[in-house]
Every structure is written in structure tokens, then in C-alpha cells.
Structure 1
């Protein structure tokens, strides 16, 4: 699942800043490595979360992750709480609601189905948003390609990614819908709050929303030292570290390139599931994931070309 990333407003500003001036642009390999490292951190953090679930359940892991990330972000950002309008607070609250929903649904999904297909199904949310926003005929091709990948995931049987639990698949798709909403409210929050203040406040809202469910499922087990340590580890790998890496990368990397690199998340998730959780992957499974990745990359590239055309 995705890390809380800088809003599109900030990414666009960063992209414009790197193109200003007459000096030669630095090599993109450094920022690309940062984004890929962020993706690895997110998905291996998700794999660690799966290992923690037998202790506190999926809801308990969500609570630990969001609470720990909220504490870290609030300490780092120290956001002010005065001077904002009711509309500003409405936006940040909805941002927190989508964040809590995205995390809650996703962790419930990976408690039932392997990590690779869960992220593959989840990424359909942002893909659908991209197709809907662009309104180009070519994006129907990318949507069809993604659908072909989903069909392979859902119909291929006999181990690996086949025979997916229907509820787990539905939860992953729901997480994808919340991811699309997360992107929308992230952009709105970025326009209303300076730096990462809005993200820190929204993370606190998400943590408060997830707390009752986590306490209901895990109770006092959430406070065990070993469990708390693992929860902090999940938060650092899934939120704090990738957010920092992405923020550094976006200072030198155009936003469209960043979005294309984020499309690699299903493949990274499949690798993390195989290496950490010993979740098998067949050739058809890999093909299904590759189709969804190709569809995501194609949708991003076609949308980027559409934006460049009026400028040209």
C-alpha cells in the first residue's frame, strides 16, 4: 500500500523548480533509486505487518501503524492548529478518513490474500481515477489491459495467486477506491496547509478513527513492548521512511516520472511476499501483475502527453 506522499501541488512545484535555470540537470538515477527504495520500504513494511497480525489482528496493526506514524509526524512537523477555516478542517478530516479507510481495508485484505495480488488489485483505484480524469479513448485500452490482469488473478487456480478469497479481493478493491479518494484529498490538503502540516494532522485523525477498532480487537496486547516495537517498525517502514525518501526524490524528479515508478509497487509487493512471507508466484501470476503495471504506466504516460500538448 502506498506511503503518505507529498501532494500533487507540491510535486508540481518541485518539478518546475528542477527545470528552472540554465544549469545542467543532475542525473535522475539518484531520485529514481530513492523512489524505488521507498516502494521497497512500503511493501516490506506491509510484509512485516502480516507477521504482526497473529498478535493483534489486522485492526490492531492498523492502529499501531497510524498511531506511531502520527506521533512521529506531529513531532517533526509541529503543525499549528489555529488560523484555518472550517473548510480547511473539513478537508483535512476527510483526508484522515480516507487514510484510515485505505489502511484498514488494505490490512484486512492482506490478512486474507497474498500481498502481491492485494497491491495489484489496490492499484486499480488510482488507475481508474487516472482514466476518468484524462477522458481519452486510448485509456480504455489501458483499462482493458488492467482488467485482463485482474481476470488472470481471479480465475487462475491451483496455488500461488490463484483462487483468491472473494472477501479479501473485495477488500483490496475497496482499498483501491479509498486510495483514489486519498489522492484527491491529498491534493486539496496540500493546497490549504503548508509543508507536511496537513499530512500530520490527517494522520492524527486517521489514528484516532482506527483506535477503537484496534482496542476492540487486540485490547491490552497493543501495549506489550514487543508488539509496540513491531508496530513502530511497520510505521517507520510503511510511512515515515518512504515519505522522507519520496520528498527528497521529488525535489529532482518530475511528477509524471514519479507516478510511473509508483506503478511498480505490485511487483515489489509480490517480491516482498515471496521473500518474507514465502508466498509462491507462478508464471501466470507474474503475467497478471505485469499487465496491471503496464496499464498503470500507459495511463500515466498518456495523461502526461495530453497535458504537454496545449503547452506545445
Structure 2
């Protein structure tokens, strides 16, 4: 039904707004702790919250029947994506970090192209992402190539997160998949965090802020993502995600005083047009199929 598709788009938009708001808060917390510690605290609190909300203890009896290969890949992609993104966030402005990260799902959108007309919207989003990065001012901005590499790595993990997320939702275990994935991500990262900076994990004065970040960055957006992935194709999801740099730049401007150039505002417009175009086109195709 058309309403079902637009509800999926709405879930995705709400997910991105929540995530970018949390990213601004996380960037402030990273200045006091470190990216790995912030990631572990965020995912740890999120696992508890999601587990309680969805009563995920009821899935324990079915664990032996699950397809663990997809779940493990989904969990690993989720944990590594967040870690690399937070590292890049400590080195780059929020809008640029998210813009570079988006190359991952954009590449997935390219691979999912079925009609030549779809290429126009993806190229438009590509142009917007390219204009987002201030190429002529890299030296003045002390551009971090290490941070850029981490953002690109996070983008690759984002593409894997989308791919394996679609496989995980086919297991029909609902939101319990999210609880399992977040919990496993924490288990992957915890030994690294303990070896890297053990004291930071027990500084309880930072826990309330980490808890709020967990709600905004994980519990809300990942739940909405799984709902959206049931209705959206890889291409639609990947191209719609191009709104992430827009929201990241606006969040960085409002909460972190990170300013954009006129050319970067133009890039935001191009990205928004690509997202709107692909959404309406997918809706028309679904309506014709009905």
C-alpha cells in the first residue's frame, strides 16, 4: 500500500534526525573521553534499552535456530561502522564526516540500479556529496586524511549494515534481531576498550550523556531502520540516506557552530532533490505494480 511505503520513508527520516542530533552530542563527549569508549557506552546502554523495550529475553529459546552468519556479519558491521564514524567525527566537521561516510550506501545504490533513469538521481546525489567537501580549502582547514579514511571505512560498513540488515529482517524475529546485534557489537568492542582506556568506561559522570546518546543514536534510529528496510529497496534506502549529510551539517551548525560555504549549501540542495526524486519514483513504481 502507498501509505505503507511513505510510512517507511517517514521512519527513515525520523531515524536520521535522531542520529545526527546524537552525533553532535557524541562529538562533544569524544572531546572528554575517546571514540571507542563513547561507542561502547552508547551501544551498551542501547542494548539494555532495546532488550527491555522489546522483551528480547523471549528469543532465548530460539537462539539455536537462528542464521548466525547473517547476524554476526550484521553485528560486526554495526559495531565497526559506529567506531570508525566516531573516530572520524573527532577529526572532521560533522557534515564532512557524514558526507564521506555516505559514499558507502551511495555505492550500494549504484550496484542496485535497474533502470537508466535511476542513474540521474544517484549522480545528482554524488555531485552533492562531492561539493560538500571543501576541496580547495583542505590545507586551511587542517583536513585530516586519517579522519577521512575512517569515514570512508564507516561508509563501507554502512553498506554492509544495509545489506545484512535486509537479510536479518527475513528471519522474522522482529526487533529481537536488533537486541542481539547491539549486544554482540558491545562484546566485540569491550576487550578493545578495556585494553585501550579501561578507566574511561567507569567514569559514571559521563553515563547520563552516554545514555541519552544511546537513545537518540541507537535505540530509536536502528529500530526505525529495521522497519524501513522491510519496505524499501537497497537503492531507495541508499539514495534516501543522502539526506544524512544535510541533517549532519544543520546539526553541526546549530549545536557545534560549524559553518558551511555557499557551495556546500548548494550541495545540500542537490542531495535533497536526489532524495525526493528517488522517493517519488519508487512510489510510482510500487503503485503501478499494484
Equivalent residue, structure 2, for 1:107:
86
* Cα distance in 2 between the residues matched to 1:195 and 1:177: 25
Equivalent residue, structure 2, for 1:264:
243
* Cα distance in 2 between the residues matched to 1:182 and 1:304: 24
* Cα distance in 2 between the residues matched to 1:248 and 1:179: 14
Among 42, 56, 59, which residue is 2:19 paired with?
42
* Cα distance in 2 between the residues matched to 1:242 and 1:129: 20
Task: Work out whether 1:53 is the aligned partner of 2:40.
Answer: no
Count of residue pairs brought into register by the alignment? 284
307 and 164 in structure 1: CA distance in 2 versus 1, 3 angstrom threshold: farther
Equivalent residue, structure 2, for 1:288:
267
Give the TM-score of the pair, scaled to structure 1.
0.77
* Cα distance in 2 between the residues matched to 1:40 and 1:215: 31
255 and 143 in structure 1: CA distance in 2 versus 1, 3 angstrom threshold: closer
Q: CA deviation at 1:223?
A: 1.1
Equivalent residue, structure 1, for 2:111:
132
Q: CA deviation at 1:113?
A: 0.7
Q: CA deviation at 1:197?
A: 0.8
SS at match of 1:55: coil
Deviates more, 1:170-179 or 1:93-102: 170-179
Equivalent residue, structure 2, for 1:73:
50
* Cα distance in 1 between the residues matched to 2:266 and 2:89: 20
**What is the CA deviation profile of residues 263-303 of structure 1, one whole-angstrom value per residue up to 9, with x for unaligned ones?**
42221111111111111111112222333343444445555
* Cα distance in 2 between the residues matched to 1:162 and 1:140: 33
Q: Map of 1:144-223 to 2, 5 A cutoff?
A: 144-158=123-137, 164-223=143-202
Q: CA deviation at 1:237?
A: 1.3
Deviates more, 1:202-211 or 1:296-305: 296-305
Equivalent residue, structure 1, for 2:257:
278
Among 115, 126, 142, which residue is 2:121 paired with?
142
**What is the CA deviation profile of residues 67-113 of structure 1, one whole-angstrom value per residue up to 9, with x for unaligned ones?**
11111112223242333457611211111001011111111111111
147 and 18 in structure 1: CA distance in 2 versus 1, 3 angstrom threshold: closer
Equivalent residue, structure 1, for 2:213:
234
* Cα distance in 2 between the residues matched to 1:242 and 1:54: 24
**Structure 1: any 5+ residue segments left out of the alignment?**
1-14, 20-27
* Cα distance in 1 between the residues matched to 2:160 and 2:8: 26
SS at match of 1:134: coil
Q: CA deviation at 1:204?
A: 0.6
**Structure 2: any 5+ residue segments left out of the alignment?**
none
* Cα distance in 1 between the residues matched to 2:201 and 2:173: 33
* Cα distance in 2 between the residues matched to 1:301 and 1:271: 24
Q: Is the 8 A contact 2:8 2:231 kept in 1?
A: no
Q: Is the 8 A contact 1:155 1:163 kept in 2?
A: no
Q: Is the 8 A contact 1:131 1:299 kept in 2?
A: no
Give the TM-score of the pair, scaled to structure 2.
0.83
Task: Work out whether 1:97 is the aligned partner of 2:76.
Answer: yes
Root mean square deviation of aligned Cα? 3.4
* Cα distance in 2 between the residues matched to 1:153 and 1:263: 11
